[in-house]
Amino acid sequence: TRVKVEIWQEDPLSGMAVIEEVLAEFRRIDHLMSPYREASELSQLNREASAGPVVVSDELFDLLEKARQMSELTQGAFDITFASVGHLYDYRKGIQPSASALQAGLPKVNYRFIELNPDDCSVHYSQPGVRIDLGGIAKGYAVDRGILLLQQQGIEHALISAGGDSRIIGERNGRPWNIGIRAPRQAQGMVAVLPLTDVAVSTSGDYERYFEADGVRHHHILSPQTGRSASQVQSVTIIGPNTTQTDALSTSVFVLGTQAGLELVNRLGDIEAVIIDKQGQMHYSDGLQDIKQ
Ligand code: ADP
Ligand code: MG
Protein backbone atom coordinates (compact mmCIF):
# COMPACT_ATOMS: atom_id res chain seq x y z
CA THR A 1 0.00 0.00 0.00
CA ARG A 2 1.15 3.45 -0.87
CA VAL A 3 1.42 5.66 2.19
CA LYS A 4 1.49 9.42 1.89
CA VAL A 5 2.33 11.85 4.67
CA GLU A 6 2.08 15.57 4.01
CA ILE A 7 2.71 18.13 6.73
CA TRP A 8 2.75 21.89 6.81
CA GLN A 9 5.16 23.45 9.27
CA GLU A 10 8.10 25.85 9.43
CA ASP A 11 11.15 23.65 9.85
CA PRO A 12 11.79 21.19 6.99
CA LEU A 13 14.41 19.09 8.82
CA SER A 14 12.30 18.20 11.84
CA GLY A 15 9.44 17.72 9.39
CA MET A 16 11.34 14.99 7.55
CA ALA A 17 12.21 13.29 10.85
CA VAL A 18 8.62 13.16 11.97
CA ILE A 19 7.50 11.78 8.60
CA GLU A 20 10.09 9.02 9.04
CA GLU A 21 8.56 8.25 12.45
CA VAL A 22 5.11 7.90 10.93
CA LEU A 23 6.41 5.49 8.30
CA ALA A 24 8.16 3.46 11.01
CA GLU A 25 4.85 3.26 12.87
CA PHE A 26 3.20 1.87 9.72
CA ARG A 27 5.91 -0.77 9.46
CA ARG A 28 5.49 -1.69 13.13
CA ILE A 29 1.74 -2.21 12.72
CA ASP A 30 2.29 -4.22 9.56
CA HIS A 31 4.67 -6.54 11.44
CA LEU A 32 2.06 -7.00 14.15
CA MET A 33 -1.05 -7.50 12.03
CA SER A 34 -0.13 -8.69 8.55
CA PRO A 35 -1.57 -12.06 7.55
CA TYR A 36 1.30 -12.37 5.05
CA ARG A 37 3.99 -12.40 7.76
CA GLU A 38 4.38 -15.68 9.57
CA ALA A 39 5.84 -13.95 12.61
CA SER A 40 2.94 -11.51 13.08
CA GLU A 41 0.67 -11.85 16.10
CA LEU A 42 -2.23 -12.21 13.72
CA SER A 43 -0.65 -15.19 11.92
CA GLN A 44 0.08 -16.75 15.29
CA LEU A 45 -3.60 -16.45 16.16
CA ASN A 46 -4.63 -18.11 12.93
CA ARG A 47 -2.25 -20.97 13.62
CA GLU A 48 -2.98 -21.51 17.31
CA ALA A 49 -6.20 -19.88 18.55
CA SER A 50 -8.48 -22.75 17.54
CA ALA A 51 -6.52 -25.07 19.83
CA GLY A 52 -6.79 -22.79 22.88
CA PRO A 53 -6.57 -19.20 24.15
CA VAL A 54 -3.60 -17.17 22.89
CA VAL A 55 -2.47 -14.07 24.77
CA VAL A 56 -1.90 -11.11 22.44
CA SER A 57 -0.71 -7.51 22.84
CA ASP A 58 -3.14 -4.95 24.28
CA GLU A 59 -2.98 -3.20 20.94
CA LEU A 60 -4.12 -6.15 18.85
CA PHE A 61 -6.71 -7.05 21.47
CA ASP A 62 -8.18 -3.51 21.37
CA LEU A 63 -8.45 -3.59 17.60
CA LEU A 64 -10.13 -7.01 17.73
CA GLU A 65 -12.66 -5.50 20.13
CA LYS A 66 -13.28 -2.62 17.74
CA ALA A 67 -13.73 -5.09 14.89
CA ARG A 68 -16.31 -6.95 16.96
CA GLN A 69 -18.20 -3.72 17.70
CA MET A 70 -18.22 -3.02 13.97
CA SER A 71 -19.65 -6.50 13.31
CA GLU A 72 -22.41 -5.88 15.82
CA LEU A 73 -23.15 -2.41 14.44
CA THR A 74 -23.40 -3.71 10.87
CA GLN A 75 -25.19 -6.94 11.72
CA GLY A 76 -22.32 -9.01 10.46
CA ALA A 77 -21.61 -7.20 7.18
CA PHE A 78 -18.21 -6.42 8.66
CA ASP A 79 -16.67 -9.68 9.76
CA ILE A 80 -12.94 -10.31 10.05
CA THR A 81 -13.55 -14.07 9.89
CA PHE A 82 -14.40 -13.54 6.20
CA ALA A 83 -10.79 -14.73 5.91
CA SER A 84 -11.92 -18.30 6.60
CA VAL A 85 -12.94 -18.26 2.93
CA GLY A 86 -11.02 -15.12 1.90
CA HIS A 87 -7.72 -16.99 1.92
CA LEU A 88 -9.05 -19.20 -0.89
CA TYR A 89 -8.87 -16.29 -3.34
CA ASP A 90 -5.75 -15.07 -5.08
CA TYR A 91 -6.64 -11.88 -6.93
CA ARG A 92 -3.25 -11.54 -8.56
CA LYS A 93 -3.38 -15.03 -10.00
CA GLY A 94 -7.11 -14.92 -10.76
CA ILE A 95 -7.89 -17.82 -8.44
CA GLN A 96 -11.30 -18.29 -6.78
CA PRO A 97 -12.56 -21.14 -4.60
CA SER A 98 -14.59 -23.98 -6.07
CA ALA A 99 -18.22 -24.15 -4.96
CA SER A 100 -17.39 -27.09 -2.68
CA ALA A 101 -14.39 -25.37 -1.06
CA LEU A 102 -16.62 -22.35 -0.46
CA GLN A 103 -19.36 -24.46 1.10
CA ALA A 104 -16.79 -26.08 3.40
CA GLY A 105 -15.34 -22.73 4.49
CA LEU A 106 -18.50 -20.64 4.87
CA PRO A 107 -19.65 -22.16 8.19
CA LYS A 108 -16.34 -20.90 9.63
CA VAL A 109 -17.27 -17.29 8.86
CA ASN A 110 -18.83 -15.78 11.97
CA TYR A 111 -17.32 -13.13 14.24
CA ARG A 112 -18.98 -14.80 17.22
CA PHE A 113 -16.42 -17.61 16.95
CA ILE A 114 -13.76 -15.16 18.18
CA GLU A 115 -13.77 -15.24 21.96
CA LEU A 116 -12.08 -12.24 23.51
CA ASN A 117 -11.07 -12.42 27.15
CA PRO A 118 -10.18 -8.95 28.49
CA ASP A 119 -8.84 -10.34 31.78
CA ASP A 120 -5.66 -11.59 30.15
CA CYS A 121 -6.02 -10.20 26.59
CA SER A 122 -6.40 -13.69 25.21
CA VAL A 123 -8.14 -14.77 22.04
CA HIS A 124 -9.71 -18.13 21.36
CA TYR A 125 -11.45 -19.33 18.22
CA SER A 126 -14.31 -21.55 19.30
CA GLN A 127 -14.17 -23.54 16.02
CA PRO A 128 -11.44 -25.20 14.00
CA GLY A 129 -10.74 -23.70 10.59
CA VAL A 130 -11.49 -20.09 11.57
CA ARG A 131 -9.17 -17.43 10.19
CA ILE A 132 -9.15 -13.69 10.61
CA ASP A 133 -7.78 -10.82 8.54
CA LEU A 134 -7.78 -7.17 9.60
CA GLY A 135 -7.45 -5.82 6.03
CA GLY A 136 -10.75 -3.95 6.42
CA ILE A 137 -9.70 -1.93 9.48
CA ALA A 138 -5.93 -2.05 10.09
CA LYS A 139 -4.94 0.58 7.53
CA GLY A 140 -7.40 3.01 9.06
CA TYR A 141 -5.99 2.20 12.48
CA ALA A 142 -2.46 2.83 11.24
CA VAL A 143 -3.47 6.22 9.83
CA ASP A 144 -5.01 7.17 13.20
CA ARG A 145 -1.80 6.15 14.96
CA GLY A 146 0.22 8.24 12.52
CA ILE A 147 -1.97 11.29 13.11
CA LEU A 148 -1.67 10.84 16.87
CA LEU A 149 2.10 10.77 16.50
CA LEU A 150 2.04 14.02 14.51
CA GLN A 151 -0.21 15.67 17.06
CA GLN A 152 2.14 14.61 19.86
CA GLN A 153 4.94 16.39 17.95
CA GLY A 154 2.90 19.56 17.86
CA ILE A 155 2.00 19.38 14.18
CA GLU A 156 -1.34 21.00 13.46
CA HIS A 157 -1.67 20.74 9.67
CA ALA A 158 -1.22 17.38 8.02
CA LEU A 159 -2.61 14.63 5.83
CA ILE A 160 -1.85 10.93 6.04
CA SER A 161 -3.27 8.52 3.54
CA ALA A 162 -2.77 4.80 3.07
CA GLY A 163 -4.47 3.41 0.01
CA GLY A 164 -8.08 4.52 0.29
CA ASP A 165 -7.89 5.74 3.89
CA SER A 166 -7.04 9.36 4.66
CA ARG A 167 -7.16 11.56 7.69
CA ILE A 168 -6.44 15.25 7.79
CA ILE A 169 -5.83 17.72 10.58
CA GLY A 170 -5.96 21.47 10.17
CA GLU A 171 -5.62 23.07 6.76
CA ARG A 172 -3.37 22.87 3.74
CA ASN A 173 -1.56 26.18 3.55
CA GLY A 174 -4.58 28.12 4.84
CA ARG A 175 -7.17 26.28 2.75
CA PRO A 176 -9.17 23.07 3.11
CA TRP A 177 -7.61 19.85 1.88
CA ASN A 178 -9.09 18.45 -1.31
CA ILE A 179 -9.99 14.79 -1.15
CA GLY A 180 -11.08 13.22 -4.43
CA ILE A 181 -13.49 10.37 -5.00
CA ARG A 182 -12.28 8.27 -7.90
CA ALA A 183 -14.47 7.33 -10.81
CA PRO A 184 -14.75 3.55 -10.37
CA ARG A 185 -14.66 2.68 -14.07
CA GLN A 186 -12.02 5.14 -15.27
CA ALA A 187 -8.26 4.76 -14.96
CA GLN A 188 -7.83 8.36 -13.78
CA GLY A 189 -10.84 10.66 -13.31
CA MET A 190 -12.70 11.87 -10.21
CA VAL A 191 -16.46 11.99 -9.68
CA ALA A 192 -16.16 14.55 -6.90
CA VAL A 193 -13.59 16.55 -4.97
CA LEU A 194 -14.46 17.36 -1.38
CA PRO A 195 -12.86 20.33 0.39
CA LEU A 196 -12.33 19.12 3.97
CA THR A 197 -10.63 19.92 7.28
CA ASP A 198 -10.18 17.77 10.40
CA VAL A 199 -11.85 14.58 9.23
CA ALA A 200 -11.22 11.04 8.15
CA VAL A 201 -12.23 9.74 4.72
CA SER A 202 -12.13 6.16 3.47
CA THR A 203 -13.10 4.76 0.10
CA SER A 204 -13.70 1.10 -0.66
CA GLY A 205 -13.94 0.19 -4.31
CA ASP A 206 -14.33 -2.91 -6.44
CA TYR A 207 -11.55 -1.66 -8.74
CA GLU A 208 -8.58 -1.94 -6.34
CA ARG A 209 -7.90 -5.66 -6.37
CA TYR A 210 -9.95 -7.81 -8.73
CA PHE A 211 -10.03 -10.18 -11.66
CA GLU A 212 -12.85 -11.07 -14.01
CA ALA A 213 -14.03 -14.58 -14.82
CA ASP A 214 -17.13 -15.49 -16.84
CA GLY A 215 -18.27 -11.89 -16.77
CA VAL A 216 -18.14 -11.68 -12.98
CA ARG A 217 -15.88 -9.23 -11.20
CA HIS A 218 -14.17 -10.97 -8.30
CA HIS A 219 -12.78 -8.34 -5.93
CA HIS A 220 -11.48 -8.19 -2.38
CA ILE A 221 -14.61 -7.19 -0.45
CA LEU A 222 -16.57 -10.32 0.39
CA SER A 223 -20.09 -10.84 1.62
CA PRO A 224 -19.78 -12.92 4.80
CA GLN A 225 -23.06 -14.58 3.85
CA THR A 226 -22.02 -15.89 0.46
CA GLY A 227 -18.23 -15.79 0.52
CA ARG A 228 -18.43 -14.09 -2.88
CA SER A 229 -17.60 -10.50 -3.78
CA ALA A 230 -20.28 -8.03 -2.73
CA SER A 231 -21.79 -6.80 -5.98
CA GLN A 232 -24.36 -4.13 -5.18
CA VAL A 233 -22.13 -1.09 -5.50
CA GLN A 234 -18.90 0.08 -7.17
CA SER A 235 -17.57 2.33 -4.46
CA VAL A 236 -18.34 3.67 -1.01
CA THR A 237 -16.77 6.74 0.56
CA ILE A 238 -17.24 7.32 4.27
CA ILE A 239 -16.48 10.59 6.08
CA GLY A 240 -16.15 10.53 9.87
CA PRO A 241 -14.03 11.45 12.88
CA ASN A 242 -11.27 8.82 12.60
CA THR A 243 -9.98 6.38 10.02
CA THR A 244 -10.34 3.25 12.16
CA GLN A 245 -14.08 3.85 11.96
CA THR A 246 -14.30 5.13 8.38
CA ASP A 247 -12.15 2.27 7.06
CA ALA A 248 -14.31 -0.41 8.65
CA LEU A 249 -17.49 1.41 7.69
CA SER A 250 -16.54 1.81 4.03
CA THR A 251 -16.01 -1.93 3.79
CA SER A 252 -19.25 -2.57 5.71
CA VAL A 253 -21.44 -0.25 3.67
CA PHE A 254 -19.95 -1.77 0.52
CA VAL A 255 -21.27 -5.15 1.68
CA LEU A 256 -24.63 -3.73 2.83
CA GLY A 257 -25.36 -1.94 -0.45
CA THR A 258 -27.02 1.40 -1.08
CA GLN A 259 -30.25 1.15 0.87
CA ALA A 260 -29.18 -0.68 4.03
CA GLY A 261 -25.86 1.19 3.93
CA LEU A 262 -27.46 4.63 3.84
CA GLU A 263 -29.91 3.64 6.57
CA LEU A 264 -27.01 2.71 8.81
CA VAL A 265 -25.00 5.85 8.02
CA ASN A 266 -27.98 8.14 8.53
CA ARG A 267 -28.53 6.59 11.95
CA LEU A 268 -24.95 7.38 12.99
CA GLY A 269 -24.62 11.03 13.99
CA ASP A 270 -21.07 11.83 12.90
CA ILE A 271 -20.79 9.73 9.73
CA GLU A 272 -21.54 10.67 6.10
CA ALA A 273 -21.37 8.61 2.92
CA VAL A 274 -21.17 8.86 -0.85
CA ILE A 275 -22.11 5.64 -2.60
CA ILE A 276 -21.72 4.86 -6.30
CA ASP A 277 -24.07 2.02 -7.15
CA LYS A 278 -23.60 -0.62 -9.83
CA GLN A 279 -25.22 1.58 -12.46
CA GLY A 280 -22.72 4.32 -11.64
CA GLN A 281 -25.38 6.45 -9.94
CA MET A 282 -24.33 8.51 -6.90
CA HIS A 283 -26.14 8.48 -3.57
CA TYR A 284 -25.49 10.77 -0.60
CA SER A 285 -26.23 10.48 3.10
CA ASP A 286 -28.59 13.03 4.68
CA GLY A 287 -25.82 15.35 5.88
CA LEU A 288 -24.39 15.72 2.35
CA GLN A 289 -27.61 16.52 0.47
CA ASP A 290 -26.52 20.14 0.01
CA ILE A 291 -23.26 19.30 -1.81
CA LYS A 292 -25.25 17.39 -4.41
CA GLN A 293 -25.54 19.29 -7.66
P1 ADP B 1 -8.74 -1.34 0.70
O2 ADP B 1 -8.01 -2.43 1.41
O3 ADP B 1 -8.58 -1.37 -0.78
O4 ADP B 1 -8.56 0.02 1.31
P5 ADP B 1 -11.21 -1.81 2.09
O6 ADP B 1 -10.95 -0.84 3.15
O7 ADP B 1 -12.57 -1.86 1.56
O8 ADP B 1 -10.26 -1.66 0.85
O9 ADP B 1 -10.87 -3.21 2.69
C10 ADP B 1 -10.93 -4.38 1.92
C11 ADP B 1 -10.27 -5.42 2.74
O12 ADP B 1 -11.12 -5.73 3.84
C13 ADP B 1 -10.07 -6.71 2.01
O14 ADP B 1 -8.85 -6.74 1.35
C15 ADP B 1 -10.12 -7.72 3.15
O16 ADP B 1 -8.86 -7.78 3.78
C17 ADP B 1 -11.09 -7.09 4.12
N18 ADP B 1 -12.49 -7.57 3.98
C19 ADP B 1 -13.13 -8.04 2.87
N20 ADP B 1 -14.41 -8.33 3.12
C21 ADP B 1 -14.61 -8.04 4.44
C22 ADP B 1 -15.74 -8.12 5.31
N23 ADP B 1 -16.95 -8.53 4.88
N24 ADP B 1 -15.58 -7.74 6.61
C25 ADP B 1 -14.37 -7.31 7.05
N26 ADP B 1 -13.28 -7.20 6.29
C27 ADP B 1 -13.39 -7.56 4.99
MG1 MG C 1 -12.33 -0.12 4.48
Question: What pLDDT was estimated at residue 229?
Answer: 97
- Contact call for residues 280 and 107 (beta carbons, < 8 A): no
Quote the CA–CA distance of 145 and 84 in Å, as a whole number: 28
Q: Atom 19 (ligand 1): residue with closest C-alpha? A: 221
Q: Is 137 in the pocket of ligand 1 (CB under 6 A)?
A: no
Return the best residue to mutate from 70, 243, 251, 255 for the ligand 1 pocket (most ligand atoms within 8 A of CB).
251
Return the best residue to mutate from 66, 112, 221, 232 for the ligand 1 pocket (most ligand atoms within 8 A of CB).
221
- What average pLDDT does the structure give for the chain? 96
Closest ligand 1 atom to Cα of 209: 3
If you measure from the C-alpha of residue 221 to the centroid of ligand 1, how many angstroms do you get, rounded to a whole number?
Answer: 5
Helix, strand or coil, per DSSP, at residue 41 = helix
DSSP per position, 174-203: TBPEEEEEE-TTSSS-EEEEEEESS-EEEE
pLDDT of residue 293 exceeding 60, the answer is no
Mean pLDDT along residues 70-86: 98
- Contact call for residues 140 and 244 (beta carbons, < 8 A): yes
pLDDT in tens, 194-221: 999 999 999 999 998 999 998 999 999 9
Smallest-distance ligand from the CA of 164: 1
Q: Is 206 in the pocket of ligand 1 (CB under 6 A)?
A: no
